[in-house]
Amino acid sequence: MLPVHRTHAVRPTIAGAPATRGAVILLVLVTVMLTAFLLSRFIQRAGTELLADAHASEQYRLRAEAYSALEVTLAVLADFRAIDGSLHSPAQGWDDPLHYAGYEPAGGRRVVISFEDETGKVSLPGLDQDALQLVLEQAGLARREAELASDAMLVWMRPDYKPASLENEAQRYERAALPHLPPQRSLASWQELASIEHAREYFYDEAGRPNDRWRWLEANVSLFAFNATNLNTATPAALDASGLSEAQTTSLRQHLDAPPAGGGAHYFRSAAEANSVVGMAGTPGKLGAEVQVLRIVVTVHDGTAAFRMSAVVVPPGGSAGVTAVVKTPAPTAPAETKNAPVQVKKLNYPFRILDIHEAIDRAEPLAEPAP
């Protein structure tokens, strides 16, 4: 019997097959990596846009709450002014206007109202060179520094002021890296001190940040013009600048801080009413007892978000020296009625708003009030 020979099929080999499979795997890996990279960038950008939209929506909601609280506050102030004739001090009862009006913020938010009477400070537009020098000395400058800085500030603010020092001539600004001239009007903000030669070095540190002297000026000197400092809210610096002695200032503060027998708080309704307390035949003409320029700070808290708005308002008849009027052109009448008189309706608003600043930031949640 012949032997049977079994044959095995030989699979053909293709040259370069392992290399081809490796290239395919590499291509797939690169595609997956590129897709993952693009997807991560898309998610990152979409997340950023969503956060921006959420931030804008949050700001809109808190802003609306802040303006609502401001309107309620102004209504309460107008109410007290109608009853008492004028605003004198938060001791009248308008220190917590939202509680007085029964206002409840929406959505579990917390709204805090605080006041800063600008007429309790020294009015910067009303200071001459000697008075401004004394104020700067109170801020911590040496006599020679205060003399030079006050001279420089008045060159910057007054069109008719003649500098006492050649170092402060207005023409020096024309030789600056960016030539310019002093605006020759009162400061619009305290940040403007950074532009005044021979003044900025005293109010900013080496890194260009406001120092303690700058903060003292902001707390004790007002950028607004008014004719009398409010005795009820006057700072010690304002009382010193008005000409009261240390003993008279102490008597005033003790009287205002002492609680009345029937409860409430002391406040003066007129400068004449303070005469018996001050111990003078009459208070100086620079002193009064009315709020002429009031800063209202509204802070809305919602979790870790805090929206702050600062509004400066003037009651009717207050601060005649402040001008913040925005002129708008009258509407153009149609051609057929061009010569007809245009009827312009005026809103009988109880206050004049001089300035509004808004800011939103992240803050620690406001502590719950004590029961």
Structure confidence by residue, pLDDT tens digits, 70-126 = 999 999 999 999 998 899 999 999 999 999 999 999 888 999 999 999 999 999 998
8 Å CB contact between 197 and 173: yes
CA gap 221, 125 in Å, rounded: 10
Kindly list the domain boundaries of the chain, sorted by start residue.
55-120+291-329+342-362
Please give the CATH topology (third level) of the domain spanning 55-120+291-329+342-362.
Pantoate--beta-alanine Ligase; Chain: A,domain 2 (3.30.1300)
Nearest-5° Cα angle at 5, 3 to 9: 170
Reported as a single tens digit per residue, the pLDDT across 204-245 is 998 989 999 999 999 999 999 998 899 999 998 898 888 888
pTM value? 0.74
Find residue 181's DSSP bridge partners.
none
Query: Phi and psi for 112 in degrees, rounded to 5?
Result: -120, 130
Helix, strand and coil content of the chain, in percent to the nearest 5, comes to 45, 15, 45
* Per-residue tokens: 253: 């503060």
Q: Which is nearest to 361 in space by CA: 310, 302, 312?
A: 302
Per the structure block, which two tokens stand in for 283? 């208070």
Is the pLDDT at 272 greater than 80, yes or no?
A: yes
